Amino acid sequence: MNGRQAIILRDVRLAFRAGGGSFQAVAFFSVVCVLFALAAGPDLRLMSKIAAPVVWTAALLATLISLDQIYRADREDGSLDVIVATSDELALTAAAKAAAHWLSTGVPLIVATPLLGLLMNLEAGAYAPLMLSLVIGTPALSLIGAFAAALTVSLPRANLLISLIVSPLYMPILIFGAGAASAGAAGDPQYAANLKLLSAATLFAAITAPLASAAALRSNLD
Amino acid sequence: MKPSLYDLANPLRFDRIARAALPWLVAATIVLMTLGLYFALFNSPADYQQGQSVRIMYVHVPAAWMALFCYTVIAGASAVGFIWKHPLADVAAKEAAPIGASFTLLALITGSLWGKPMWGAWWAWDARLTSVLILFFLYIGYMSVWRAFPDKTRAARLAAILAIVGFVNIPIIKFSVEWWNSLHQPASVFRGGGPTIDGSMLTPLFLMGGAYMFFFAATLTQSMRSELAARRLARLQEIDARSSYVLVEQ
Amino acid sequence: MNETFAATPAHRYRFRASGVSISRGGVQILSDISLALDPGETAILRGPNGAGKTTLLRAFAGLLRKDGGQALVQTMDGKSVDTADGTIYCGPLNAVKFSLTVDENLRFWAALYNTPPSMIAEARAAFGLDAHGGRNAGALSTGYCRRLGLSRLLLARKAIWLADEPTASLDAAAVNAFEKIVERHRGDGGIAIIATHDALSIASARTIELKTGIAA
């Protein structure tokens, strides 16, 4: 097993153990969906219409609150020094960290989505587009989020700053992702267009975010 | 020692040039603004559809140009600062941000005021408006990074990385009205085949654009001067408080 | 980064640092530091708090940018690499994950350092952790946690050790064990630079002191 695989395995393991982030992410995701459902009231037709966008927003928010931990814990116990010192290509290591975040946060959210779709009276035809848009879009959320986490890792508390940095970068992902999910249910031709834009955004993030994260990490080493 | 953000020599020369240029920049701003407003308010035609409210265009459109232009300046200065570590580049980027954010806000507000009579709503989530709003948030995020880090050398590098990453939004804004059929009108000035609007409207547009440009230059120059002075002071205070160490073998 | 710079009689490396200067936040912390160490030599780095011992070691480890000068690890036949690749840095933090077991922590580091799993048992034994392999690292006392952190010195298989306050929370027996491990490393031809406030007895170690210089 090489170093990067070991990092992914370790991060996923830590996230799924007690006190790790996976459970929190799914719990928060569910809470947000339930709150929206309550706020929308008993009108089932309204809930169906907003179900896909609400799930997308909830997934984005759940991802957002989990970002701080990507690098902070490692920095505080000295593991980040070891990871950076043993990394031959820091950008690839940053990509591995983002991949680990997606596996421990994005994937559980995707798995939980069908259940929450039921709660929100999601249309039968909307499940597949919603899941597909999440599968394509959540890696972008992890990649961009990991970049914001790397940028702010040397600050004592960075939750607000991470939200400010990441919001404009997340907005296009949300627009395309939720747009694809809604259009897919209706059989709208916008569905394919939104998916293509979403894929392009994820690919762009996959190339840019690790490079930017590596530069940010290097600037943040004490 | 390589020039750092705190280098004394270079910024002093900048200060001399800035002080000499500033009165001219301010004068140009005032002249162009006066001319521009005159043409905009009195010497250009009203629209056959919109009536007099079309004149908001002369405030709104150049503001939108400046919103994009300022971010481009920030991204360019950030790249220069990141690659060549020139101290003035970082300061220029930092000081340009509040000006650019203000132009963006001006564009958003005047756009909303103009759009209400036209579209019947204060806001619409079409591609152009949404991407300019995203640009505004990018400015806020960028300025927050500068404020968050007490070590300004580090803040400069991190903010530069963010500015460069966010630059992808600029071409998206520019072309969004062409790529998506949207509520906002397509480009009529900066486009491939040349402007499509009448000269009598172009004149005030360019005059106001020029006025905003000189305003930006004047404000940026003055902001950079104060920022550099503040840093010189901070550095002198730091040197007073610390001493450096050398190695001695026993 | 996957190359081994292990200290064995067959491979001997020299440590050469010259003119190293570091400044942070516009203030000069270290000026013109030069240090030359040959195989088998140990340097004890002393100095008051805030003198820059950690800064210097981190710069050698490649975790901090130097403003000037260079630091190299040289083979006996003249090939040289940057100290970032040829050294192992053990800082005041242990890099230990509390939710993982001792063995899981060791295996993770072994994967990062490209060390064969057989060395894990050796490193564990050298620092007296054999009885604790399956325990969660969070259940260890501070001293045992430190021992676990120090085991990276052996796992990384590098000739040059940079240790920052290694004996900070260790009891007398553990300090003794650490001294013996450093002695063995010296015997194999390795080099160690140890920053410490404690009195370590390592045979023929040079003491180097960081003293106040003139502000730049």
Tokens of A202: 């994820």
Tokens of A160: 């607000």
Where does the pLDDT of residue B193 fall: very low under 50, low under 70, confident under 90, or very high at 90 and above?
low
| Per-residue pLDDT at A186 exceeds 70 | yes
The answer to whether C82 contacts chain B (CB < 8 Å) is no
State chain A's mean pLDDT as an integer: 93
Give percent above pLDDT 90 in chain A: 80
The CA distance from B62 to B110, in Å, is 11
| Contact yes or no for C61 and A221 at CB 8 A | no
Residues A146/A103, Cβ–Cβ less than 8 Å: no
Where does the pLDDT of residue C212 fall: very low under 50, low under 70, confident under 90, or very high at 90 and above?
low
- The CA-CA-CA angle for residues B111, B112, B118, to 5°, reads 90
The CA distance from C130 to C117, in Å, is 15
Q: Which residues of A touch B148 (CB under 8 A)?
A: 152, 155, 158, 161
Q: What 3-state class would DSSP assign to A60?
A: helix
| Per-residue pLDDT at C172 exceeds 60 | yes
* Residue B138, pLDDT score: 95
**Annotated domain spans of chain C:** 13-215
Q: Which residues of B touch C33 (CB under 8 A)?
A: 246-247
Among A65-74, A152-161, A208-217, B174-183, the least confident range = B174-183
Q: Which residues of C touch A104 (CB under 8 A)?
A: none
| Per-residue pLDDT at B250 exceeds 70 | no
The CA distance from B89 to B79, in Å, is 9
Between residues B190 and C46, the one the model is more confident about:
C46
Where does the pLDDT of residue B9 fall: very low under 50, low under 70, confident under 90, or very high at 90 and above?
very low
Tokens of A211: 């490079």
> Mean pLDDT throughout C75-92?
86
| Per-residue pLDDT at B88 exceeds 50 | yes
Q: Please name the residues in contact with A203: beta carbons below 8 A apart, sequence gap of 6 or more.
A: none
DSSP state of B182: -
Q: What is the dihedral of CA C62, C64, C65, C71, to 10 degrees?
A: -40
| Contact yes or no for A81 and C61 at CB 8 A | yes
Where does the pLDDT of residue C90 fall: very low under 50, low under 70, confident under 90, or very high at 90 and above?
very high
| Per-residue pLDDT at B167 exceeds 90 | yes
| CATH number for the domain whose boundaries are C13-215 | 3.40.50.300
- C212 → closest Cβ in B2, B5, B245: B245
The CA distance from B69 to B101, in Å, is 11
* Residue C10, pLDDT score: 64
**Annotated domain spans of chain A:** 3-221
Out of 2.60.40, 1.10.10, 1.10.1400, 1.20.120, which CATH number does the structure's domain B21-185+199-225 have?
Answer: 1.20.120
CA distance C116 to chain B (A): 38
The CA distance from C111 to C195, in Å, is 27
State chain C's mean pLDDT as an integer: 87
Query: What φ, ψ does residue B85 adopt, rounded to 5°?
Result: 55, 35
| Per-residue pLDDT at C216 exceeds 60 | no
The answer to whether A133 contacts chain B (CB < 8 Å) is no
| Contact yes or no for A13 and C89 at CB 8 A | no
* Segment A83-86 long-range contacts (CB within 8 Å, at least 24 positions apart): A83/A7, A83/C112, A84/A217, A84/A218, A84/A221, A84/C63, A85/C61, A85/C62, A85/C63, A85/C84, A85/C89, A86/A3, A86/C1, A86/C112, A86/C113
Where does the pLDDT of residue B182 fall: very low under 50, low under 70, confident under 90, or very high at 90 and above?
low
Residues C128/C55, Cβ–Cβ less than 8 Å: no
| Per-residue pLDDT at B3 exceeds 50 | no
Chains within contact range of chain C (3+ C-beta pairs < 8 Å): A, B
* Residue B144, pLDDT score: 96
Residues A104/A185, Cβ–Cβ less than 8 Å: no
The upper half-sphere exposure of residue B111, i.e. CA atoms within 13 Å in the direction of its Cβ, equals 24
pLDDT digits (tens, 9 = 90+) for C32-60: 888 999 998 999 998 888 778 899 999 99
- The CA-CA-CA angle for residues B41, B45, B49, to 5°, reads 110
pLDDT digits (tens, 9 = 90+) for C117-151: 888 999 999 998 988 888 999 999 999 999 999 99
* Residue A1, pLDDT score: 76
| Contact yes or no for B164 and A212 at CB 8 A | yes
Closest CA to C83 of C75, C67, C72: C72
**B-interface mutation test, from C21, C24, C28, most B Cβ less than 10 A away:** C28
**Annotated domain spans of chain B:** 21-185+199-225
- The CA-CA-CA angle for residues B110, B114, B116, to 5°, reads 120
* Residue B244, pLDDT score: 63
| Per-residue pLDDT at A158 exceeds 80 | yes
CA distance B139 to chain A (A): 9
Strand ranges inside chain C, DSSP E: 13-24, 27-37, 42-46, 68-75, 80-82, 87-90, 160-164, 191-195, 205-212
> Mean pLDDT throughout B117-143?
87
| Per-residue pLDDT at C1 exceeds 50 | no
| Per-residue pLDDT at C215 exceeds 50 | no
pLDDT digits (tens, 9 = 90+) for A64-117: 999 999 999 999 999 999 999 999 899 999 999 999 999 999 999 999 999 999
